[in-house]
Amino acid sequence: MNANFRTLVLMALMTAIFGTVGALIGGRGGMILALAFAAASNLYAYWNADKIVLRMYRAREIGPDEPDPRLRRFAEGVAGLAARAGLPTPRTYIIDQAQPNAFATGRNPQNAAVAATTGLLETLTEEEVMGVMAHELAHVMNRDTLTMTMTATLAGAISALANFAMFFGGRRDEGVNPIAMIAIVLLAPIAASLVQLAISRTREYQADRIGAEICGRPDWLASALAKISSKAARTPMPLAERNPASGQMMIVNPLSGGGVSALFSTHPPVEDRIQRLLAMANGGGHPSVPPQRARPAPQRGPWG
């Protein structure tokens, strides 16, 4: 199923859950109140996401007068990928963290920022780093920050309605069975969260595919994901642990555990992502990606 169509179907499902729960619990007034509350909090986060998360991770912008030639080349590489994708050049940041990871933020392509950790540059080759940044630029191109903000707003509204019912008893004029009401209060937020996570995984698959198109080498990103996943599991990321909500922004969620079911994960299994990318490299993906031999990216050592 096309990723955009799948996202549309999941958003429709989330809307249906909201409508059903709202009608049973809060009525029209309660639905409007819950949606307004969730929209206000998420709109603030959407408008200020870049400032909030970059400050949280103590990210440092790489400017044109950057003294480190390695970081200058990194920023120049990002600018080249953005030009290839037809995007404005995003602000580029470096984060002093040992865990290899990266993310994109910003409310639209004109206000986008991409960030990578020092661990990413120390772990990957230049080709692999560019594969990762192409993935992040794909998130910018797809406006995934907006998509996930809309999803979070609906999920937040459903949770607000459930809390409304828990504290105030919900609507009493509908004759809803009390046991059914309890089940709705408990299960509706869980269902909304599962749909929200499914949308997040769909957007990651889409970013992998479009990122591979931007850089033209799916095997670069496949090799990068294998290295990131392996090292991230052994390297803590304290700031992500203190701010778990930011983990879903990363190319590999730094908080994912091996025993957690994929149903409750913000990201698809790394092994599945790698196999899809290698299939693209063999000519089994989008026709705009030239067939390549399914091989790891050149192993020239870390970015130096």
The binding site consists of 135, 139, 204
Helix, strand and coil in the chain, % to nearest 5:
65, 5, 30
Collect all residues with Cβ–Cβ distance below 8 Å to 8 and sequence separation of at least 6.
none
In this structure, the dihedral spanned by the alpha carbons of residues 65, 67, 71 and 73, taken in order and rounded to 10 degrees, is 70
Collect all residues with Cβ–Cβ distance below 8 Å to 238 and sequence separation of at least 6.
none
- Residue list for the binding site for Zn(2+): 135, 139, 204
Residue type at position 136 = E
Collect all residues with Cβ–Cβ distance below 8 Å to 72 and sequence separation of at least 6.
62, 66
| Residue position matching structure tokens 């998509």 | 147
- Cα–Cα–Cα angle for 193, 232, 51, rounded to 5 degrees: 60
Query: Catalytic annotation on 136?
Result: yes
Residue 35 to residues 31, 157, 162, 169, Cα–Cα distance (Å): 6, 5, 12, 19
State the catalytic residue, choosing from 122, 136, 213, 241.
136
Residue 281 to residues 144, 201, 251, 300, Cα–Cα distance (Å): 25, 21, 20, 20
For 214-230, give the secondary structure using H, E and C: HHCCHHHHHHHHHHHHH
Catalytic residue annotation? 136
